[in-house]
Structure 1
């Protein structure tokens, strides 16, 4: 039993796949893709924070594999503008603000036990002046 608990704990711990820095007031896209040729159209959900073992915590939106399920979208600021039919389920945050800082998770629900793909992105949103200042220090 202890081995099973340890295995589940290891499966739920993950680091951020990517770190993205964007500018306040602009649209920022957080990448997430899956192999649609191998898996077929697949349900996907995006949430704020690290993804739990099941589902999406603080869910922002979800797809049925073909389109966004409208009732799952918490705001029109969160959109999937990529080609869902090609497995591009990248999340675009419209008109980003500093409050959008944080970890986001994309879960691709692959059939079978423990097959789901989890992708985490750490987003930092900065004011334009901060980004200019940082680029001048290099």
Structure 2
């Protein structure tokens, strides 16, 4: 089994909190697909982890809610022929999902209004466009 998974420089998921399952991958591949357990399922219990602070755990549970089954996040990797490469892919996917889930919310946008010059430029452009269209009108009015 691979060791712990590094999510950020300060957050590392210990190996004992990870659940690995291996099975046969589906799809093309001939005899290799029928004989090797190259598909990888990696499970991580977000609700019970000790790797995250209570605040980060709550944020992760809230943001990952649609993907969780009873507090457990599961990622699957079956795109490679080798089990080792699929293990690495699953670990990378799990780390990326957790990194995105625990990221701090973006700063609130401070509302601004356009400057007087910008408003005047916009209105001048509208007046100019209106004049161009007025000159194109039929003289039969």
TM bracket (short chain): under 0.3
The structure where strand makes up a greater share of residues is 1
TM-score (norm: length of structure 2): 0.27
- Computing the radius of gyration over CA atoms, which structure comes out larger, 1 or 2? 2
Richer in helix (by share): 2
TM-score by length of 1: 0.27
Q: Which has the higher contact order (CA 8 A, sep 6+)?
A: 1
